[in-house]
A and B are shown apart, each in its own frame.
Chain A
Amino acid sequence: QKEVEQDPGPLSVPEGAIVSLNCTYSNSAFQYFMWYRQYSRKGPELLMYTYSSGNKEDGRFTAQVDKSSKYISLFIRDSQPSDSATYLCAMSTGNTGKLIFGQGTTLQVKP
């Protein structure tokens, strides 16, 4: 079993839809949870990070962490074609900086 599981998709939605992306994990020691966006043939771009459980909102993006269920989510409201990319969740146990990534979910937002 992988430490972090993420459905690779692809996920296709119409423009304006609400997108829900999810990851599950097995290591209860994870404390920091990140979401990255990666365009084709580019490096990942940090979208949001959250410490421990709870919600965090930034513009059209909302990150949720449920440590009791070992489940994290990223919601994208009013999705745009420019949101089409691969979204990677990543997790860390603490101050080492080592990140464990999910496989990434490919999202396509159709005009």
Chain B
Amino acid sequence: GAVVSQHPSRVICKSGTSVKIECRSLDFQATTMFWYRQFPKQSLMLMATSNEGSKATYEQGVEKDKFLINHASLTLSTLTVTSAHPEDSSFYICSAPVRDFPYEQYFGPGTRLTVT
């Protein structure tokens, strides 16, 4: 299957700082990527759709000014958590669909964010 990487795998930051998480498709190009958030023992909640060359589309209830998304190229999307608070602590996962098969998605390994 296709490979998606995320960096960093774990990050600890202080309240009020910003954190950037990278998502890369390693062996295929992705015009669209998705960002999810997962709380312990809960499902993945879609936060936003990242579109290469245009603005991201955010799900209802997700603050776009807090979770900045940039899809810089066909293999890279970044999620920046701005002015982080302890309640932003979570597991963030990105996914990328194989072109022409948008329902066949491959997920990154996730980033564990802890805000102190």
Residues of A within 8 A of B (CB): 6, 8, 32, 34, 36, 41-46, 49, 88, 92, 95-104, 106
Known interface pairs A49-B104, A92-B103; A99-B34 also in contact (CB < 8 Å): yes
B25 within 8 A of A: no
Q: Which residue of A lies closest to B5 (CB)?
A: A43
Q: Is the CB of B43 within 8 A of A102?
A: yes
Contacts of A96 in B (CB 8 A): 49, 102
Across chains A and B, the number of contacting residue pairs, with CB separation under 8 Å, is 64
Residues of B within 8 A of A34 (CB): 103-105
Q: How far is the CB of B30 from chain A (nearest CB, A)?
A: 10
B98 to chain A, nearest CB (A): 10
A44 touches B107 (CB 8 A): yes
- Which B residue sits closest to A44, measured CB to CB? B107
29 pairs of residues in contact across A and B, judged by CB atoms under 8 Å: A6-B43, A34-B103, A34-B105, A41-B110, A41-B112, A43-B6, A43-B95, A43-B107, A43-B108, A43-B110, A44-B44, A44-B93, A44-B107, A46-B1, A49-B103, A49-B104, A88-B43, A88-B44, A92-B103, A95-B102, A96-B49, A97-B49, A97-B103, A98-B34, A99-B46, A99-B105, A101-B43, A104-B42, A104-B43
- The complex places the Cα of A106 from the Cα of B41 at a distance, in Å, of 9
A39 to chain B, nearest CB (A): 10
- Which residues from chain A contact B41 at a C-beta distance below 8 Å? 8, 106
Interface hub of A41, A97, A101 (most chain B Cβ within 10 A): A97
| Chain A residues within 8 Å of B43, by CB | 6, 88, 101-104
Q: State in angstroms the CA–CA spacing of A98 and B41 once bound together.
A: 21
